[in-house]
Amino acid sequence: MILPTDRDRRLISERRGGTLTDDNHHLLAEWAALCAEHVLEHFERVRPDDRAPREAIGLVRAWIRGEVRMGDARRGSFAANAAGRGLPDPARFAALAAGQAAAVPHVAAHDLGAAAYGIKAAMAAAVPDEAESARLGELEWQRRQLPEEVRELVIDDQRQRNDICWNVFWD
């Protein structure tokens, strides 16, 4: 579970009574897509012919460009999640990262799900003695990708939801 019981108004679009602008929603969606894409190789090595996670990431970007509706991206989320079922952890977590990214158009707070599953994929792919180094490396990479306009929001959200995101953002 990566979503809190009480939703943060900063991650709810203005149309739905929150304070998140469309521009910042798009920035969060692109960041989530980058996080998922960065670990996608772990899925594609195991299932090279299954394009569902890659297509889900593509749907996020198509939504950002206004080419598809939110519901289309959301359906891509379900397909990416299903593609990971029963796979080894690195591949499963990479598929789940793509699924979370594709859910950001529907609920912006899924951005941390894409990041957290991306970190879990990197950790699971590492040899056990290097899992912590992999966590820190992936986290650092993700934070470098954060657009300045949403950086403070995301870092604060990571602090608030760290415990429900498997403590991957903070020690």
Looking at residue 31, the DSSP 8-state letter turns out to be H
Q: Would 4 be classed as within a structural domain?
A: no
Which domain range does residue 109 map to?
A: 19-165
Q: Would 10 be classed as within a structural domain?
A: no
Q: Would 12 be classed as within a structural domain?
A: no
Q: Would 72 be classed as within a structural domain?
A: yes
Q: Would 8 be classed as within a structural domain?
A: no
Q: Would 160 be classed as within a structural domain?
A: yes
Beta bridge mates, 13: 20
Number of structural domains the chain divides into: 1
Q: Is the dihedral of CA 49, 65, 105, 155 positive or negative?
A: positive
Q: Would 107 be classed as within a structural domain?
A: yes
Give 42's contacts (C-beta < 8 A, 6+ positions apart). Answer: 90, 91, 93, 94, 121, 124, 125
Predicted TM-score (pTM) of the model is: 0.97
In tens digits, the chain (171 residues) has pLDDT values of 688 888 999 999 999 999 999 999 999 999 999 999 999 999 999 999 999 999 999 999 999 999 999 999 999 999 999 999 999 999 999 999 999 999 999 999 999 999 999 999 999 999 999 999 999 999 999 999 999 999 999 999 999 999 999 999 998
Q: Would 5 be classed as within a structural domain?
A: no
